Amino acid sequence: MSLEQQQALYGNTAQAMGDAPKEIKIRHISNCLKVDPAYGKVVADALGILLSEVESEQKRQET
């Protein structure tokens, strides 16, 4: 996938999830991180969510 295609994918993902509750966005980022940590980070950035928030939620759900 070209850099241009990747950027379009990230932007489209962020736009499509724009109105979703934050918990859903965090769950999506968590799933993306499992597939490819770099992809998960870019999706988190596109959605304006810190990875520390995602990691905190992951730890909370483990307990």
Q: What is the pLDDT of residues 10-37, one digit of tens each?
A: 889 889 998 999 999 999 999 999 999 9
pLDDT band at 60 (very low <50, low <70, confident <90, very high): confident
Instruction: Kindly list the distances between the CA atom of residue 24 and the CA atoms of 1, 16, 20, 27, 52, in Å, as whole numbers in the listed order.
Output: 26, 12, 6, 5, 16
Q: How far apart are CA 35 and CA 31, in angstroms?
A: 7
Which pTM does this prediction carry?
0.83
Residue 60 burial (CB count, 10 A): 8
d(CA 43, CA 47): 6
Q: How far apart (Å, rounded) are the C-alpha atoms in residues 27 and 43? A: 12
